[in-house]
Amino acid sequence: MIKWIYQNGIVLYLVNTFLLSIHLTFNFGYNIFLIIMVLYTILLLINPQQFKLVILHRAFHFLLILTGLNILYLIVFDNISDLESLKYLSARTIQFTIIPLSIFYNYEYYKDKFLTHLVFIIFGIVLLGIFLDPFLLSGRYDGIIWNPNALASFTVIAFGILLLKNKEKSNLDYILLIVFLIVSLATGSRGVLVGISLAYVFRYGFSFRNVLYAVLSIMIYLLLLNLNFDTSLNRIGSQSLFNDRTIQYYYAIETFLQKPISGWGLSKYSFLNMDLVPYHLLHSGAIISAHNAYLAIIVQYGLIFSSFLFYIIFSKGYEVLYYFRKPKVGYPVIYSYLIIYTLIASIYENLITGINEFHTILFWFSLAILSYSKSESLNAD
């Protein structure tokens, strides 16, 4: 039973993010999250040698270093008696424990079947949403998910996985691709255009086929722009990608400048100091968070510690992306796609810093599994 938990911890963790994204199952998902955190803490205490064996593997050193930086930051700049900061540290530490354990004990599964299973789970969520709310073009579509952007995150990632998984596609694959594409656009999330375009570049490069797809896409874009819908294409045509983000960036920078060295603390991830925001903006709902992971990190950690974090993230990213730069399909290119997509999407979304965010968890998992794959490949040589 314990070995099964080690092998499938990241699956449970990711599936639980779906529960947390649905209104009716949110409370249940939160309780499951707490159970996962407590369970892994107990396993860590009763079997530390097993954890040590995995965590000290060279492929996972970057996660260990990041955990050490969080602890050091808490001691140096944060308040060690701040319960919320301790909760964040504990949850991040367990997250960075679940990921390597799952990879170490179930590596073959995560190279292949895991991605297929993830696609079908997301397809199930989409189907249930369409059954309960079939009106895809009546506004920004969210199905059964609490937020259209969250649904878009699921469907775009599923689209990318399916497109990059195999050279040969079955009829079912094409049906799923079409469904994910339509639902992604129907969410009205402008970021889906980035994710879909990036997937096509990964799959086809700048080939004749890609140019043809680009021309067809422009034609569809111009057609939809003249219709009274609220799709991703309509919204980016009328608002641009960063239309409602720039003012939030401004207040994120102002928040950072209040504590540029020490940062605001581990508990203040995706944080803005709302005291800086004028009353009319505060109550209009226009200002929510930084909507930029890089600004969120420097607000949270300050200039010194965020510099170390950025160095670790980008150096590890470059290392694994360069090593797996040649494949065009298969698990290395899918996980490479997830890394690059996250780094780009972090310009306009709060990714990387969260604990229960689907896209963020996949980002850290992708870095870790490619790091482990590289290590296994070098050992085999």
DSSP string, 268-313: -TT---GGGS-HHHHTTT---S---HHHHHHHHHHHHHHHHHHHHH
Which positions ≥6 away from 356 have C-beta within 8 Å? Answer: 16, 17, 20, 33
Q: What is the percent of the chain with per-residue pLDDT over 90, rounded to a whole number?
A: 52
Bridge partner residues of 22 (DSSP) = 145
CA-closest candidate to residue 153, choices 163, 162, 142:
142
Largest CA distance in the chain: 63
Contact present, 196 and 150 (Cβ < 8 Å): no
Q: What would the two tokens of residue 41 be?
A: 């803490």
C-alpha separations of 138 from 127, 186, 188, 240, 260 in Å: 17, 9, 11, 21, 44
DSSP string, 7-20: HHHHHHHHHHHHHH
Residue ranges of the chain with per-residue pLDDT less than 70: 206-245, 279-289, 328-329, 381
Q: What are the φ and ψ backbone dihedral angles of 22, each rounded to 5 degrees?
A: -110, 130
Q: What angle do CA 284, 289, 290 make, to 5 degrees?
A: 125
Q: Using CA atoms, how far apart are residues 9 and 27, in angstroms rounded to an integer?
A: 20
Which positions ≥6 away from 206 have C-beta within 8 Å? Answer: none
The pLDDT of residue 98: 95
Q: What is the CA radius of gyration of the chain?
A: 21
Phi-psi region of 240 (alpha: psi -120 to 50; beta: other; left: phi over 0): left
3-state secondary structure of 265: coil
CA-closest candidate to residue 131, choices 203, 183, 204:
183
User: What's the pLDDT tens digit per position in 203-248?
Assistant: 877 655 655 565 565 455 445 544 444 444 444 444 544 555 678 8
Contact present, 64 and 55 (Cβ < 8 Å): yes
Instruction: Classify the C-alpha dihedral 300-306-312-313 as positive or negative.
Output: positive
The pLDDT of residue 282: 64
Q: Using CA atoms, how far apart are residues 315 and 292, in angstroms rounded to an integer?
A: 20
The pLDDT of residue 208: 56
* 165-195 as b/e: b if 16+ CB within 10 A: beeeeeeeeeebbebbbbbbbbbbbbbbbbb
Encoded amino acid at 212, one letter: L
Q: Calculate the CA 299 to chain-centre distance.
A: 19
Q: What would the two tokens of residue 160 be?
A: 């990318």
Q: What would the two tokens of residue 174 be?
A: 């094409």
Q: Using CA atoms, how far apart are residues 278 and 284, in angstroms rounded to an integer?
A: 10
The pLDDT of residue 287: 58
Q: Angle at which helices 192-204 and 208-225 pack, to 10 degrees?
A: 160
Bridge partner residues of 145 (DSSP) = 22
CA-closest candidate to residue 87, choices 266, 301, 262:
266
Contact present, 91 and 361 (Cβ < 8 Å): no
